[in-house]
Amino acid sequence: MTAEVQNILALQNVDTPLKGGLNTPLQETDFSGVLPTPRVQATPNTVLNAVAATPASTFGATPSSVGSFTPGAGGATPAFRDQMGINEGGATGGLEAQAELRRALASLPEPRNDYEIVAPDGESEEAEEPEENGEEWVDDAADAKEARAKQRALKRQRELAARTQVIQRSLPKPSKVCDAAFKPSLNRTEMARADDLIKAEMARLVAWDVQDQAPSEVYDENVIKNASEMITKNCDEGPPLDASMWAVIEQCSSELVQSRGKFTRIAVLSRGDQIEALHSQFQV
């Protein structure tokens, strides 16, 4: 009680804490009770004590006094316990482990310095050759892009060469295929059969141009070129295309007019159809 009164008086006589300095020393007080505090006896952990203990070494150290004690009975507790085998053998255990490791390494086979060089099989002739400095050549991105563009252009040219002149020259084409124009003839003469073959080929080409449906068989460019040369060689040249021939062509063309979706001679039309056909030409 006296110590607590002294602590209260010391705290009342303290200056403001803004001045700083050391704290006011106080006496320790214990209000747990008048009776002494009992201590709880804990069971000693022999395993933890054995792990934390430092093993005694018999090499180069002062002899321990344990050996001078009189040995106890067979059931007595040993002075040092090591049930987990952590400190088994002491310093001699490390030496034995090193010796065992040396014996295991000595039993390994000796290294051999024999090797064989084997060339790879089936080397491609088109494989890229390395540069003189041994590094592999890597194409520039711009060059590779230009090369791909050239390949696409060549592919489009080959595809365009297999199409008709209507597609190659961007000429007008019909909106649909007229099957009646390619109807086979009833005459079975040799000339009629040849004409039917030409009509069938024309029907496939027109369908390719109009409907964009490629035929099942597309001829090679060389085959078409040879066929064109053969036709030119076997056909007659015909009359020369002079001024008189052009006059006949212009006269025939002037007589043809479009009426009711087809071309016909204007002389066979009625008066009203002639006026309508001529009016449609001026509208165009």
Q: Is position 93 within any domain?
A: no
With bands split at pLDDT 50, 70 and 90, how would you rate the model's confidence at 48?
A: low
Decide if pLDDT at 52 tops 70.
no
pLDDT at 54 over 60: no
- Based on the structure, what is the number of domains in the chain? 2
**Which residue range is the domain that position 200 belongs to?**
171-216
Predicted pLDDT at 148? 92
Q: Convert the pLDDT of each residue in 245-270 to its tens digit.
A: 888 888 888 888 878 777 788 888 88
User: Which tokens sit at 21?
Assistant: 């300095």
For residue 207, give every residue at least 6 positions away whose Cβ sits within 8 Å of its Cβ, in sequence order, or none. Answer: 177, 213, 215
Radius of gyration from C-alpha coordinates of the chain: 58
| d(C-alpha 220, C-alpha 162), whole Å | 7
**pLDDT at site 75:** 46
Q: Is residue 117 part of a domain?
A: no
Average pLDDT (63-69) is 46
pTM above 0.75, yes or no: no
Residue 277, domain member (yes or no): yes
Tell me what the mean pLDDT of segment 75-83 comes to: 52
**Contact by Cβ (8 Å): 262, 255:** no
pLDDT tens digits for range 92-150: 667 888 899 888 888 888 877 877 787 776 555 444 554 555 566 777 888 889 999 99
Please give the mean pLDDT across all residues of the chain.
Answer: 75
Q: Is the dihedral of CA 276, 277, 279, 284 positive or negative?
A: positive
The whole-angstrom separation of Cα 24 and Cα 7 is 9
- Please answer whether residues 204 and 215 qualify as being in contact, where contact means their C-beta atoms are separated by less than 8 angstroms: yes
d(CA 199, CA 201): 5
Q: Which of 110, 31, 111, 45 is nearest to 84 (CA)?
A: 45
Choose between 68 and 15: higher pLDDT.
15
Instruction: Name which of 40-44, 64-68, 157-161 the model is least confident about.
Output: 64-68
Within a domain: 30: no
pLDDT at 39: 67
The answer to whether 71 and 65 are in contact (CB under 8 A) is no
The Cα–Cα gap between 280 and 262 comes to 13
Render pLDDT for 189-222 as a digit per residue (tens, 0 to 9): 888 888 899 898 888 888 888 888 888 888 888 8
Per-residue pLDDT of 168-179, as tens digits, reads: 888 888 888 888
Give 165-226 as a DSSP string: HHHHTT----SS--GGGGPPPS--SHHHHHHHHHHHHHHHHHHHHHH----S----HHHHHH
Is there a domain that residue 156 lies in? no
